């Protein structure tokens, strides 16, 4: 509820600035005079937003444990790819974090281990003596005695970040949100780049909270000895090669919902980048992930809609921004409604699948338009955009 109030205030503030002549005069008079009022430069705006986006995409990412044989350049490219996915489709990363949290909580309850142990299982942190990840539910009973003997502190010692550092990172995102609220409160306009950065900041806080107990940037796994009584069930199963008939769109949809049927731990030395252990016994696993992905996607688009009546350099840019924002905000909601309304009818399911595929194709284009417009609109900003926040209104004697 508070989020929608915040979006309404942003939209109302932008609309007032554009729609009423007396307020246009007031805005034009609200220019930046460094001898009287605090001001900021275009560099300050760009630098502050880029630093926040970097913290929301690069620093906030909690990757799965990579292949032990990967070199520095390969590890760098691996993280850059994940950073690019976060920029283009941040709700996909939120869905990934949600799947891992649901799975980690289930593992914690079922096998009497900590959530850190559960996350470490999901990220491929435990491997067998042969070097294969222990990353399937049917594998865990054979290795759980050894995993229970590993202390939580030993796992956290491999992490490059602790709870304090993660808390500071969350505070950084909240600080940017606070700055945006302060500008709205003082009738100062937000640039399109700041609105886009605000969306990243909100999602970054969500991602960090979901991954609060997940170790950060672990490079090497921990060997868990298999119980002498138990046998790894996967060693008794044949490895089925992945089907070549799966299309690219189907593969993308499978990855969005965490479907890794073609992944076999006993033929790998690491888990895929967006892998999480599927708990097939819980019907809520896919439902929670689907609801979170759609809900966060709608939230992300709604924040961009806050610049609905902002001043754009041209009408074309204004309508591209509006259409892209509305599509990102509305498509996830319609997907949920169609999913609830459609039952087992073959034609209806086919229509729903086509609708989702349409979104998968169009969504990246809309995201790309919003990213480009966030920077191109900086060429023509109103004078009031350079007026800095007067913090003395909230903190006396500052």
**Taking residues 150-158, what's their average pLDDT?**
89
165 sits in the region (left: phi over 0; alpha: psi -120 to 50; else beta) called alpha
Contacts of 59 (CB under 8 A, 6+ apart): 169
Pair 381, 42: CB distance under 8 Å: yes
Distance CA 195, CA 7 (A): 10
Q: What is the pLDDT of residues 224-246, one digit of tens each?
A: 888 765 566 666 555 554 555 55
Which two structure tokens, joined as six digits, stand for 74? Answer: 């390969």
Q: What is the pLDDT of residues 181-216, one digit of tens each?
A: 888 888 888 899 999 999 988 888 888 888 888 988
Q: Compute φ and ψ for 295, nearest 5 degrees.
A: -65, -45
Of the candidates 225, 272, 261, 255, the residue with the CA atom closest to the CA atom of residue 123: 272
Q: What is the pLDDT of residues 67-88, one digit of tens each?
A: 888 888 888 898 888 888 888 8
Q: How confident is the model at residue 35 (pLDDT cuts 50, 70, 90)?
A: very low
pLDDT at position 323, please? 94
Q: Looking at per-residue confidence, does 343 or 118 come out higher?
A: 118
Environment class of 130 (CB within 10 Å of its CB; exposed 0-12, middle 13-18, buried 19+): exposed
Measured in whole angstroms, the distance separating CA 286 from the mean position of its chain's CA atoms is 17
Which two structure tokens, joined as six digits, stand for 218? Answer: 């672990």
Measured in whole angstroms, the distance separating CA 94 from the mean position of its chain's CA atoms is 4
Task: For the chain, give the percent of residues with pLDDT over 70.
Answer: 74
Measured in whole angstroms, the distance separating CA 74 from the mean position of its chain's CA atoms is 23
């Amino acid at each position: 509820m508070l989020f929608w109030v915040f979006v309404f205030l942003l939209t109302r503030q932008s609309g007032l600035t554009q729609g009423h002549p007396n307020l246009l005069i007031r805005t034009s008079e609200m220019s930046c005079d460094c001898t009287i009022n605090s001001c900021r430069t275009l560099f300050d705006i760009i630098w502050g937003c880029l630093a926040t986006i970097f913290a929301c995409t690069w620093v906030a990412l909690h990757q799965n444990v990579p292949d032990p044989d990967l070199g520095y350049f390969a590890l760098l490219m691996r993280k850059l790819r994940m950073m690019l996915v976060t920029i283009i489709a941040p709700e996909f990363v939120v869905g990934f974090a949600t799947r891992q949290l649901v799975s980690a909580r289930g593992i914690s309850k079922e096998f009497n281990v900590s959530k850190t142990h559960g996350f470490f299982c999901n990220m491929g942190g435990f491997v067998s003596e042969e070097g294969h990840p222990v990353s399937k539910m049917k594998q865990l009973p054979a290795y759980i005695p050894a995993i229970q003997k590993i202390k939580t502190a030993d796992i956290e010692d491999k992490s490059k970040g602790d709870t304090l550092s993660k808390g500071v990172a969350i505070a950084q995102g909240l600080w940017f949100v606070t700055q945006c609220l302060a500008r709205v409160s003082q009738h100062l306009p937000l640039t399109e780049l700041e609105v886009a950065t605000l969306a990243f900041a909100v999602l970054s806080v969500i991602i960090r909270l979901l991954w609060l107990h997940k170790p950060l940037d672990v490079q090497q796994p921990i060997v868990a000895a298999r119980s002498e009584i138990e046998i790894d069930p996967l060693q008794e199963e044949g490895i089925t090669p992945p089907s070549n008939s799966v299309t690219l769109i189907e593969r993308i949809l499978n990855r969005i919902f965490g479907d890794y049927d073609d992944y076999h731990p006993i033929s790998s030395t690491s888990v895929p980048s967006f892998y999480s252990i599927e708990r097939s016994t819980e019907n809520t696993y896919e439902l929670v992930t689907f609801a979170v992905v759609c809900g966060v996607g709608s939230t992300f688009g709604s924040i961009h809609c806050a610049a609905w009546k902002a001043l754009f350099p041209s009408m074309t840019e204004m309508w591209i921004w509006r259409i892209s924002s509305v599509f990102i905000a509305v498509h996830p909601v319609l997907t949920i409604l169609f999913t609830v309304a459609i039952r087992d009818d073959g034609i209806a399911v086919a229509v729903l699948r086509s609708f989702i595929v349409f979104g998968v194709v169009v969504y990246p284009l809309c995201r790309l338009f919003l990213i480009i417009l966030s920077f191109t609109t900086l060429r023509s900003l109103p004078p009031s955009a350079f007026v800095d926040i007067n913090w003395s209104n909230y903190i006396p004697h500052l």
